[in-house]
Amino acid sequence: MDVVQPNDLEQAFCVARRRHAELCRQNQIFNARNRILGGDTKTWDIQVCDRKIKEATEKARHETFAAELRHNDKMMCILENRERRGRRHLCKALHDFQQSFQKPELRREFDLSDPLARRREFPARQGDNDARNTVSGMQRFMGEDLNFHARQRFQQEQNREWFLQQQRERKKARADQKRAEDLYTEARLQFDQTAQDLQHRERATRRAVSAAVKQFNKTQASELAERKSLEKKQEQEDDLAHISNLLRGDLLSEDPQQAVSSFGPHRVVPDRWKGMSQAQLGHIRLVQQQQMQEKLRLQEEERQRDADWDRQRVERARAEVLCERQQRRQQRDLRRALDGSNRSLAAEQLRQERYSRVRINSKKRAALRDITERQARAPGLC
């Protein structure tokens, strides 16, 4: 029974889709009517339908925007009317407040510009206790304390009221302080009782935890002791079995065959090997002597080779020294020849300088002679 895989279904679907597309293309190409008209009516119909859908979508979108704009305009009008109504109510409330609480006659400076101030004035003197009777008014003089007894009684009554008020305030402060102290004491007692309860609970919890830990430790100790005893017993049994196996095995029997490895006769088992035989040791010593002789021979050859290299190096160094001496000798000869040519050139230059100096001196003498002759002729001409 064949099992259909998803990949097979996908490939079959792709093949069917390509076949359908090929059939549609062949129908368009080999259909005489469509080929003569030169157009694809189905595609045109699809394009017209898409365009209509797009136009309808745009129309619905514009209608939605228009409805949203109308809604926003309506909301703006409602908000403007509400703001206008609120501003009008605010102005009305402000006017009512000014008419009720900010009248001109209630202002602090109204008495300076009150047109009816004269009508509202009191007479110049209403009695001896009139507060307007100042010293400059000449209505009352020093020593005329006409209201002394009433003022004294009033002052005594006022002092008594002050003293009673101070007593009440002091009693109230004492009562408040006592109440605060009582509340503080009660809170402290409550806190102490709570702390004691917490301490008792903590001690009980600690005792319970200690008992549980102690019991757990005892259980663990007993289990550990039992496990150690079992392990020790098992270890003793294993040691006895191991000792018996060693005594009965080939390890202590000194049998050389028991150390031969299964990988070949040239290999041994390290934990069973008891050492080499005399033949093997003799063969090893013989090989060691041969290696020593070979090593001595190689050392002698190396020494001879080093001696040859040293002789060649000495000869090469001697040749280099002779070459350097020859070069120094040639450089010395060249330097001597160069010094001789430099001395001849210096002498030639010195002769030229002397000759040029003599000519300059002769020219100077001739010039002085001419100047002297001209000076000598000059007085006769004058």
> Which one-letter amino acid corresponds to residue 148?
F
Q: Maximum CA pair distance of the chain?
A: 164
What is the chain's mean pLDDT, rounded? Answer: 81
pLDDT of residue 381: 43
**How is residue 366 written in tokens?**
């001739």
Q: Is the pLDDT of residue 3 over 60?
A: no
pTM above 0.75, yes or no: no
Q: Is the pLDDT of residue 380 over 60?
A: no
Provide the pLDDT confidence category of residue 86 given band limits of 50, 70 and 90. Answer: very high
Instruction: Sort 274 into a burial class: Cβ within 10 Å, 0-12 / 13-18 / 19+.
Output: middle
Q: Higher model confidence: residue 87 or residue 119?
A: 87
257: part of which helix (H) or strand (E)?
none
Per residue in 242-288, pLDDT (tens digit) is 887 777 666 566 666 666 666 766 677 676 666 677 787 888 889 99
C-alpha distances in Å from residue 237, one per residue of 226, 231, 232, 303:
17, 10, 9, 67
Q: Is the pLDDT of residue 36 over 60?
A: no
- Cβ distance 274 to 259 under 8 Å? yes
C-alpha distances in Å from residue 318, one per residue of 300, 307, 309:
27, 16, 14
pLDDT of residue 1: 44
Distance CA 303, CA 284 (A): 28
Pseudo-torsion of CA 305, 310, 316, 322, nearest 10°? Answer: -150
SS3 state of residue 5: coil
Q: Which residues lie below 8 Å from residue 114, measured CB to CB, with a gap of 6+?
A: 105, 120
Distance CA 27, CA 4 (A): 33
pLDDT of residue 188: 84
